[in-house]
Structure 1
Amino acid sequence: MIKRLCCNGLAMLGMISAVAGAADTSAGFMANYAQQSGVAVSALSPARGEALYRSEHRGRDGKTVSCTSCHTANPKQAGQTRVGKRIEPLAPAANPGRFTDAAKVEKWFRRNCTDVLQRECSAQEKGDFIAWLNQIK
């Protein structure tokens, strides 16, 4: 019995490691961003991620903007760009394709952070943001 428990525990640990090491999963992105920022994945903060999403900033045109301006207050809902194009939900629970392509993830973080914050997001901010979205069910 103990042998079976140990084997099952090792198998589970192996599966968790494989998911965390996968490049194009939300867990993989969180691990990469945590490593880039020099913190443990457990130090990523869903609360900071949500605060980043909801915080308002002065945009390029002087108007107040936030992530919710295009993505809605509920990340499980579809949003809309300024020109009316549909944006699929941000939350992986509502959009399983979210955080599955590294090039797209980096492209959209760069573009959206620059639009809203007038700067690129830090690795820690990206990790916090994904940590928050991952907890939404």
Structure 2
Amino acid sequence: MLRTHYWQAVAVCAVLIATPALAETPQDILDGFTVEAKTEAPDFQGFDAERGKLFFNNTHGNDWSCATCHTSNPAALGKHAKTDKVIEPMAPAVNAERFTDLKKVNKWFKRNCSDVLDRECTSLEKGDVLTYLMAIK
């Protein structure tokens, strides 16, 4: 009996060790934005990379755009406009850690949208930007 419990414990540990940490993928995050966008706008037709690129590179009533700190090339390093802190590339193709933690994604969209828009981004805006960033290879 004790031997059986021992081997069951070993098996459980082996499974836990072999299972990678549960992390979202950029597509998982985008799928969540899709659900939100359909709730916000019943006529939602999908995200658009070109619309995301325009949003990313243009200002929206303030002096800053996303590209102000992240550069117009999201595959390159950026630098915060005030602190000069280096910012890792935004494109998931060159930075595998991007858009793999929903909590971080929500935190940074909230903070950065506030800087750029003086409000939170809509799900459509977030989805368009993420679609654009995912298209960069």
- TM interval, shorter chain, is 0.7 to 0.9
Instruction: Choose from 59, 62, 68 the match for 1:56.
Output: 59
Aligned residues: 112
Alignment-mate amino acid for residue 57 of structure 2 = R
In the TM superposition, residue 55 of structure 1 has moved relative to its aligned partner by: 1.1
Which runs of structure 2 are paired with 1:121-132 in the superposition (5 Å)? 121-132=121-132
Q: TM-score, normalised by structure 1?
A: 0.75
Unaligned runs of 5+ in 1: 1-21
The verdict on how the C-alpha distance between 1:47 and 1:75 changes in structure 2, with shifts beyond 3 A counting, is: same
**2:71 — aligned with what?**
72
For 1:74 and 1:136, locate their aligned partners in 2 and report how far apart those are by CA, in whole Å. 9
- What's the CA shift string for 1:66-99, capped at 9, x where partnerless? 1111111100001111211110000001101000
Percent identity over paired residues = 41
**2:83 — aligned with what?**
83
For 1:56 and 1:127, locate their aligned partners in 2 and report how far apart those are by CA, in whole Å. 18
- What's the CA shift string for 1:1-57, capped at 9, x where partnerless? xxxxxxxxxxxxxxxxxxxxx971110111110111117997111111111101113
Q: Larger Cα Rg: Structure 1 or Structure 2?
A: 2
Deviates most, 37-46 or 87-96? 37-46
Unaligned runs of 5+ in 2: 1-21
For 1:136 and 1:42, locate their aligned partners in 2 and report how far apart those are by CA, in whole Å. 22
Alignment pair present for 1:111 and 2:114: no
In the TM superposition, residue 129 of structure 1 has moved relative to its aligned partner by: 0.8
Runs of 4+, deviation exceeding 3 Å: 39-42
For 2:29 and 2:87, locate their aligned partners in 1 and report how far apart those are by CA, in whole Å. 21
For 1:40 and 1:86, locate their aligned partners in 2 and report how far apart those are by CA, in whole Å. 39
**1:43 — aligned with what?**
46
